Amino acid sequence: MKSKKVKHSKYKNTGVLFELLVRQITNDTLNGIKNSPAIKIIEQFFNKKTNIRKEIQLYHTLQNQKFNTEDKANRFIDVVIKEYSKVNKSTLRTEKYNLIKEIKRNYVLESFFKTKISNYKLNASIAKTLDKEYTNPADKVRSRYTIVEEIVGSKVIKSKQREDKVLKEYAADADLRVLSYKILLEKFNSKYGKLGKSQRNLLREYINNVSNSEKLKSHTDNEVTKITNAISKLKPTVSDKIVKIKLEEVKSQLQKIQEDKKVKDIHLVSLLRSYDLIKELKNVSK
């Protein structure tokens, strides 16, 4: 009896679904939708009580954890696979079915899945590596090596934590990503119509070039330069010493964005806040 062949599907890939939902929040906000359905979907299906939440945490730990050797990376992947085996697959399938159903109820699926995400290959590799029913040997090996390359990387972060301890700490990652988008939505809900031209342009660049990391990085670096220059020019108009110190801290944080090779969600939040800071400084100096 032939075994059933399991193919990878982006419609079932939790990492892809999560990325598309958080992108959708930004897209909805840019289009003036104050209460994005994607926020409610994330809160409903990625809360602490769900198996999807457990799965996305494993995705994120494989995407973000760094080790300095392939041996350590492979051992870490084995630990994650072991943790994944503890997830209730039957309940997980039901949750994913209902998740897709809810996305379809609020969005046109064809348009929803057209949005490109920069780490699609990595998400696909994680799905193939974690799923024991996916049995294509060559692709399984290629997928695992893609994850190893991501973990080892060119910018190694040395970690002295044991793998089992790391697995207890990765939960914060998903929360932080959702939180960053909630901060965006919160801000836009009250004053979307008042967003400046630079803020609107940044959001458009972020959405349109999420799969073009080089172009997005170039744009954000240019914006950081403009913002830091603006702060430097406005600083002499500030008389409060504490505020001046805070402005230097802001400039320092912005410069770190240029040092990072990739544009992160939190960078977007920082830049949007910085635009408002400049606006407030200009108002004070009048």
Average pLDDT over residues 244-256: 85
Q: What is the pLDDT of residue 142?
A: 92
pLDDT at 71: 92
Domain boundary, last residue among 175, 205, 230: 175
- End residue of a domain, out of 119, 140, 175: 175
Better pLDDT: 285 or 50: 50
Same domain for 133 and 202: no
pLDDT of the residue at 167: 40
Structurally, how many domains does the chain consist of? Answer: 2
Q: Name the band, by pLDDT with cuts 50, 70 and 90, for residue 214.
A: confident
Which DSSP helix (H) or strand (E) runs through 155? Answer: none
CB 72 within 8 A of CB 221: no
**Residue 189 counted as domain residue:** no
pLDDT, greater one: 185 or 56: 56
Which candidate, 234, 229, 277, 278, places its Cα nearest to that of 255? 229
39 lies in the same domain as 116: yes
Are 76 and 201 in the same domain? no
| Predicted local distance difference test score (pLDDT) of residue 217 | 84
Name which residue leads in pLDDT, 94 or 235.
94
- 277: pLDDT strictly greater than 90: no
- Percent of the chain past pLDDT 90, that is, above it, reads 29
Residues 18 and 139 in one domain: yes
Give the residue numbers spanning the domain of 274: 195-285
Q: Do 166 and 62 sit in the same domain of this protein?
A: yes
Cβ contact 123:117 at 8 Å:
yes
Mark whether 160 and 204 lie in a shared domain: no
**Residue 5: per-residue pLDDT:** 55
Contact 272, 204 (CB under 8 A): no
